[in-house]
Structure 1
Amino acid sequence: MESTNDAALQTRYVLKDGDSFLVANSLGNVVSLSEGLFIQDTRILSTYQLLLGDQEPALLSAAVTQDNVLFVAHMTNRALSAIDEMGAPEGLIHLTRSRFLCKERIFERITCVNYGARPARLPLRFKLAADFVDMFEVRGSKRSARGRLFESETGDWGYGFRYEGLDRVVRTSSVLFSRTPRFLEPGLLELMVALDPGGSDELYIEIGATPEGAPTRERYRNEASTARRRMRRRQRRGARVASGGPLFDQWMRRSRSDLALLTSELETGPYPYAGIPWFSTPFGRDAVITALQTLWLDPALAKGVLSFLAKHQAKEDSPFLDAAPGKILHETRKGEMSTLKELPFGLYYGGVDTTPLFIALAGAYLRRTGDVETIESLWPALLAATQWIERVCDSDPNGFLVYVRGTDLGLANQGWKDSGDAVFHADGRLAEGPIALVEVQGYVYAALRTMAELGESRDPDAAERWSRRAEELRIAVEKLFWMEDAGYYGMALDGAGELCAVRTSNAGHLLFVGLPSPERAASVAEQLMSPAFFSGWGVRTVARGESRFNPISYHNGSVWPHDSALCAFGMARQGVRGAANRLLRGAFEAAVHFDMRVPELFCGFARTQGAPPVAYPIACLPQAWAAGSGLMLLQACLGVEIDGDSQTIHVHRPELPQGIQDVAITGLAVGEHRVDLVFRKVGSRVAAFLDADDSGQVSLQIRN
């Protein structure tokens, strides 16, 4: 059997709906170890390959529609048998493969057209398999035993697969066709399509956890309408960005489309799953940061994130789950390995930063919306989260929030840089816990200040204590993390109190929360934009020249778009607006090279004239906080802050993206009203004004 080896086939195309997602190649085939249809962290389809006879068709083009609903591949035949009345020379048959995911089910249509002058018979063959492996097995985890995989079952309309896990749960899947296939051998079936000259025919296929009867054209059309309608509803939520730059607008639209794709409608509201393929599940940290990135445009996402995380807040101690009362969820999984507790990730709390970030998001949400009612409902969760932070800080000699994993199965590092080698000393030694990360102390500072603000009317004594603790923490960070010789903050303190004297992007997050003094903030900003950090595309996670620096590592020299955006927002907050604009330009130009879809991360090589950014081979694409990074970068440049309570939009020293003359934020919710906020270049200045404010209740305050 021949196989197409075109470089284009290395591209992966993703569809998602709810707790299901599909990863396939450019032909629409599922053939590699990282591809498949996954539902609730289990791969229910591991091979799905369309063949014409004994070979794959030739690829013409492949794409997912801009709304992220429909995958379409155009293909043609290689020569089919001999060139006689029943064969077809190469390139005379056009195949269109169209598919979408709706209600966690694949709906597919294959259209065949004969452009030849003779009749043709097309042997459409399908290779099928379902291995029911857990997502962690796909990622490389080894299991000592697995459940029972039954032989596949044939029926009038296709194949059925069944697996009984060690958790006693029976998982099934089916692949059904709109006409009865001929079964050639286990896992291989054929449908013969006869085409007259100029003739066409259609085949419909459905794949899901359960059989729903023979596929039909009518059901395909109805479910396609449902899928588009649901996606449009998600994409229309929140304000929109439009500018005079077509490519820039395309990036903004793709970012919003990716966020809509990754967002699942849960009982608690909308929630952005972290990324596909490895993290298509609720993550705490990722969702909170994504909500912060999009808060100015779509507060509803933040409300959904806060509600979900409060609902799943830890109630008891569990070293296996790294849980403690008040702690906020790191991630949740539904696969067999998590159910059996072979791994702790069913409800896992091994993230040291998610809890303070949760509190900080609540405060930011209240300032943005004035929604006191939601904060009142969250108050018990916010109190419990703060109490956990205070207990941990009280146990540390320096009063810092530290982490050490409960068991060897948990994450060794529990900040956002959670690789095993991500926290280290200047000589390259790995840090040993308990570890206090510098950016985490910044998040705690923000959380304590938030609680002080929220507590003024609820518990004045506690509010005063939280305010005092925030200031004490700020002083301790300035004293113990600052490296005078380097003019920069160290990455972490290890369990022995020794500073990891390494320059990393972590310090940029201190600017985001406003902890450093103005002089130190300026020094950090200057270095973040130096060649040691700024690659030309974004901020490296580790400065070039530091130990363990490696531009192709996961966390030690690569560029993460969300990290760059947080640093940029922090620099803009400190008045370094030009740096944010340079980072926005670099991110936009990187997005152009990545077909407007910014990946989870890419390599940290220095930008070279005429060369694209270097992709990281196993990065998630799409990834929620990568998709949200452009929106945060734009906010940083425009200098927009919204006070929902006073119904005031504050704009501070706005700058437009390079080459863009105007930007409009339409349908911006401010209190109970919606307005259009317009920025326009006037000479050397940027003017800002409100348009379509029929209420007259929203005010705009501009500081230059």
Structure 2
Amino acid sequence: MDDGYSVQTTAAEASGNEGLERLLALKDRDTFLVADGWGDLKGGADGLFDQDTRILSRLVMTVGGARPSRLSSGASRDNVFFTCHSTNRPLPPMGGRSAPAGVMHVERRRFVWNRRMFERVQMVNHGMEDVLLPVAFEFGADFADIFQVRGTLRQRSGRAETPTHDGRRVTFRYTGLDDVVRTSTLSFSEPPARLTASRAEFLFSLPTGKRLNLFIECGPVPADTPDQTRWRANAVAARMAMRARRRRGASVRGPRSPRFNQWLDQSRADMALLTSDLPTGPYPYAGVPWFSTPFGRDGILSAWQMLWLDPSLARGVLSYLAARQATETSAFRDSQPGKIMHETRGGEMSALHEVPFGLYYGGVDTTCLFVALAGAYATRTGDLELIRTLWPHLIAATEWMRDYGDSNGDGLIDYQRAAETGLSNQGWKDSEDSIFHTDGAFPKGPVALLEVQGYAYAAWRAMADLGARMGDARTADWAGRAEDLRQRVEDRFWMEDEGFYAIALDGDGAQCRSIGSNAGHLLFTGLPACDRAQAVSARLLSGEFRTGWGLRTLARGQARFNPMSYHNGSVWPHDTALGVAGMALYGERDAAALILGELYAAATHFQMRLPELFCGFDREAGEPPIAYPVACIPQAWAAGSVFLMLQASLGLSIDAFERTVQIASPTLPVGIDRLSVTGLAVGDACVDLAFQRLGDQVVVMPTNKVGDIRIVMTH
């Protein structure tokens, strides 16, 4: 996903390894923690990361010289806390006596807040006798760059100093090749009986029935000694901040479906976890662990999925990306004036240009999506004040589309990486093998992707609409460009013999006639003629694409099809959601409800948290969907998928300029007979909507309407 350094392991290749599905993540802004089910960090894909550097690579707890027996573990429903409950194995003799297994309850509870990990280890003696409890922690900090952790080899690294320690803390120090000194400090509330540069040993005396707490903190700078007061104060702050993020915008509930509500709650909590409140506003980071940073495409599409419920995400994304719009040409960064950022990173390798992702622009679609989202945001909110602020950036983006996006003058947006360090494929399917001809051969560049033309079409249409409201004289030109592009796509990408669109055109203008889910994105933009949209929808709903858990990224039977691959036959929830929303735009409401129900079924097998992707095998009775072993969990646009599909199923659209909420032929998935939307704001007005299945129809009842707002219902 999202950059050329993503893990491209297939499920077969990853067989037998731990897999990220067993790792649990916490996050706050640019700091995140990934640990196993015991809460241990072992130096694999786990660790405590700050600004794309791993500042704690090892933290392993033993009780009585052994790893405790885990009883249960997981994250809290609001994603603030990780908790592991465990018990002791037989303890070694102390003072002539040994304690049997299962008498000590050991709870590890932690959270991440304000660039620090806070942990409380609570030990309770449930035995009949007093216990001497040996507890030890092994630790270390390798200061590895996020790209090193992901497998990129470095010829040389900076200088790690010998850790220093005093009675309660250990400080690690690393001077990078970029001459930046990076530090981290691991602190304990109690002085260990023995403390070295890599190990802390404690010996606690616990009378029967008593409990004892040990507090631990780790961050890039030293702080006060950990204690219960610091723990509680910071825990309250972390929980309140998360609660504020979760409560933004309208809410959706299914009153008689607690498991469906659990999916909605988990998805909303995951979006809140990944959203960082930046100076420019809230921004959903792409995913943990590999993509915990602002991405252009991911941020735009995640905000678009949530737009009908919470426009503040779109406002924050647009403001952030405008501030980082390219102003110069750089082959290394794949940038030209007006282009919108693809990715930004803060680690040593990015600073040294060992990888180009410090501020990288190698996404062919992000600039078009930026303009299109601005248009969708304006329609949803009526916020022309922000549009006026963004107007110079929107003009610069369209000038990039006109002057740079079309490199060969054929009227289509295309890409070809400017440097070997950049991405070879620059659409959302950016793995090296994701775009190909029917014989599996890779196309010569520049490559014009199908869905990107749809995004550009939506961008030109958005500019025509916004230009009319802004009084810009170029409105007619933008409208003409949209229509010209629409016709070019219909003429050049449509394959009459397949009843489908080609996935791309190569540098010679030849069709890459592979059958992929990219056509669903084209439907989302509203570009295709109705008859062609119906043909595409029918094929997307056929067994070639439909697994029973969602839609595959590539039709079964195509060259390079592999349901265990990253982009060539797997199921990506966001990709399915965009295709579903596109089909619904052309009236396929029942299909939207059907696929929504299938993704809901998949979510029930992933603890109600849809991963970045999963394998594209057909659904079999009594068997769960098959996980992709190195998928990011959570992932922003996977979390947002349910909300976009709900909007599509309900046929709900909002026009703040007209102060109208329109609901066209709403449907609900099988088993979901009621749904409520509360606090839906349009300008300064607000309304609640109650949907209910009556017979073979779904009806809606507006309630609690405040202010000037019209509800228009059509069937």
What is the TM-score with the length of structure 2 in the denominator? Answer: 0.96
Aligned residue number for residue 545 of structure 2: 533
Whether the 8 Å contact between 2:20 and 2:632 is mirrored in structure 1 is: no
Q: Which amino acid aligns with 1:623?
A: Q
Match of 1:269 among 281, 287, 311: 281
CA distance in 1, matches of 2:549, 2:205: 52
Aligned residue number for residue 126 of structure 1: 137
Aligned residue number for residue 58 of structure 2: 47
CA distance in 1, matches of 2:20, 2:563: 26
Aligned residue number for residue 205 of structure 1: 216
Match of 1:72 among 56, 78, 83: 83
Post-superposition offset of 1:191 = 1.1
Aligned residue number for residue 14 of structure 1: 25
Post-superposition offset of 1:507 = 0.7
Q: Could you say if the C-alpha distance between residues 155 and 9 of structure 1 is closer, same or farther in structure 2, counting changes exceeding 3 Å?
A: farther
Q: Which has the higher contact order (CA 8 A, sep 6+)?
A: 2
* Counterpart mapping for 1:635-650 below 5 A: 635-650=647-662
CA distance in 1, matches of 2:265, 2:525: 28
Aligned residue number for residue 87 of structure 1: 98
Matched, 1:173 2:204: no
Q: Deviations over 1:677-699 (max 9, x none)?
A: 1111222221112111133x211
Whether the 8 Å contact between 1:45 and 1:173 is mirrored in structure 2 is: yes
Aligned residue number for residue 437 of structure 2: 425
* Counterpart mapping for 1:425-504 below 5 A: 425-458=437-470, 461-504=473-516
Whether the 8 Å contact between 2:167 and 2:195 is mirrored in structure 1 is: no
Post-superposition offset of 1:671 = 1.1
Post-superposition offset of 1:460 = 5.1
Post-superposition offset of 1:432 = 1.9
CA distance in 1, matches of 2:668, 2:469: 39
Matched, 1:294 2:290: no
Post-superposition offset of 1:468 = 1.1
Aligned residue number for residue 8 of structure 2: none
Q: Which amino acid aligns with 1:463?
A: T
Whether the 8 Å contact between 2:21 and 2:629 is mirrored in structure 1 is: no
CA distance in 2, matches of 1:151, 1:260: 38
Whether the 8 Å contact between 2:134 and 2:203 is mirrored in structure 1 is: yes
Aligned residue number for residue 380 of structure 2: 368
Structure 1 window deviating more from structure 2 (181-190 vs 614-623): it is 181-190
Match of 1:316 among 312, 328, 339: 328
Matched, 1:240 2:231: no
Whether the 8 Å contact between 2:284 and 2:636 is mirrored in structure 1 is: yes
Matched, 1:278 2:290: yes
Post-superposition offset of 1:74 = 0.2
CA distance in 1, matches of 2:605, 2:214: 36
SS of 1:456's partner is: helix
Post-superposition offset of 1:200 = 1.3
Q: Which amino acid aligns with 1:267?
A: P
CA distance in 2, matches of 1:466, 1:7: 52
Post-superposition offset of 1:214 = 1.3
Whether the 8 Å contact between 1:392 and 1:402 is mirrored in structure 2 is: no
Matched, 1:224 2:235: yes
CA RMSD across the alignment: 1.5
Whether the 8 Å contact between 1:689 and 1:700 is mirrored in structure 2 is: no
Aligned residue number for residue 6 of structure 2: none
Match of 1:27 among 34, 38, 57: 38
SS of 1:68's partner is: coil
Q: Could you say if the C-alpha distance between residues 387 and 55 of structure 1 is closer, same or farther in structure 2, counting changes exceeding 3 Å?
A: same
Q: Deviations over 1:624-659 (max 9, x none)?
A: 000000010111100100111222110000002211
Aligned residue number for residue 672 of structure 1: 684
CA distance in 2, matches of 1:675, 1:582: 27
Q: Deviations over 1:411-456 (max 9, x none)?
A: 1100000001111000000122100000000100110111111112
Q: Which amino acid aligns with 1:325?
A: P
Q: Which amino acid aligns with 1:480?
A: R
Match of 2:580 among 536, 547, 568: 568
Identity of aligned residues (%): 52
SS of 2:404's partner is: helix
Whether the 8 Å contact between 1:10 and 1:25 is mirrored in structure 2 is: no
Q: Could you say if the C-alpha distance between residues 351 and 156 of structure 1 is closer, same or farther in structure 2, counting changes exceeding 3 Å?
A: same
Q: Deviations over 1:286-342 (max 9, x none)?
A: 000001100000001100000000010001111110000000000000000001111
Q: Could you say if the C-alpha distance between residues 573 and 140 of structure 1 is closer, same or farther in structure 2, counting changes exceeding 3 Å?
A: same
SS of 1:16's partner is: strand
Q: Deviations over 1:209-230 (max 9, x none)?
A: 1111211111101111111111
Whether the 8 Å contact between 1:8 and 1:26 is mirrored in structure 2 is: no
CA distance in 1, matches of 2:649, 2:20: 38
Structure 1 window deviating more from structure 2 (130-139 vs 80-89): it is 80-89
Structure 1 window deviating more from structure 2 (363-372 vs 450-459): it is 450-459
CA distance in 2, matches of 1:459, 1:656: 41
CA distance in 2, matches of 1:477, 1:648: 32
Q: Could you say if the C-alpha distance between residues 500 and 8 of structure 1 is closer, same or farther in structure 2, counting changes exceeding 3 Å?
A: closer
Matched, 1:604 2:616: yes
Aligned residue number for residue 165 of structure 2: 154
SS of 1:145's partner is: coil
Whether the 8 Å contact between 1:85 and 1:118 is mirrored in structure 2 is: no
Matched, 1:663 2:675: yes
Q: Which amino acid aligns with 1:175?
A: L
Q: Which amino acid aligns with 1:253?
A: D
Q: Could you say if the C-alpha distance between residues 388 and 335 of structure 1 is closer, same or farther in structure 2, counting changes exceeding 3 Å?
A: same
Post-superposition offset of 1:8 = 11
CA distance in 2, matches of 1:278, 1:8: 13
SS of 1:693's partner is: strand
Aligned residue number for residue 406 of structure 1: 418
Structure 1 window deviating more from structure 2 (417-426 vs 686-695): it is 686-695
CA distance in 2, matches of 1:354, 1:552: 27
CA distance in 2, matches of 1:155, 1:82: 30
Aligned residue number for residue 253 of structure 1: 265
CA distance in 1, matches of 2:41, 2:84: 14
Aligned residue number for residue 396 of structure 2: 384
CA distance in 2, matches of 1:612, 1:329: 38
CA distance in 2, matches of 1:698, 1:199: 60
Whether the 8 Å contact between 2:165 and 2:196 is mirrored in structure 1 is: no
CA distance in 1, matches of 2:555, 2:51: 38
What is the TM-score with the length of structure 1 in the denominator? Answer: 0.98
Q: Could you say if the C-alpha distance between residues 575 and 70 of structure 1 is closer, same or farther in structure 2, counting changes exceeding 3 Å?
A: same
Post-superposition offset of 1:6 = 13
Q: Could you say if the C-alpha distance between residues 270 and 57 of structure 1 is closer, same or farther in structure 2, counting changes exceeding 3 Å?
A: same
Match of 2:625 among 581, 594, 613: 613
Q: Which amino acid aligns with 2:115?
A: E
Whether the 8 Å contact between 2:503 and 2:515 is mirrored in structure 1 is: yes
Structure 1 unaligned segments of length 5 or more: list them. none
Q: What is the count of residue pairs matched by the alignment?
A: 699
Matched, 1:347 2:359: yes
CA distance in 2, matches of 1:624, 1:6: 25
CA distance in 2, matches of 1:369, 1:9: 39
Post-superposition offset of 1:364 = 0.3
Aligned residue number for residue 408 of structure 2: 396
Matched, 1:183 2:191: no
Q: Which amino acid aligns with 1:116?
A: G
SS of 1:355's partner is: helix
CA distance in 2, matches of 1:7, 1:31: 12
Aligned residue number for residue 567 of structure 2: 555
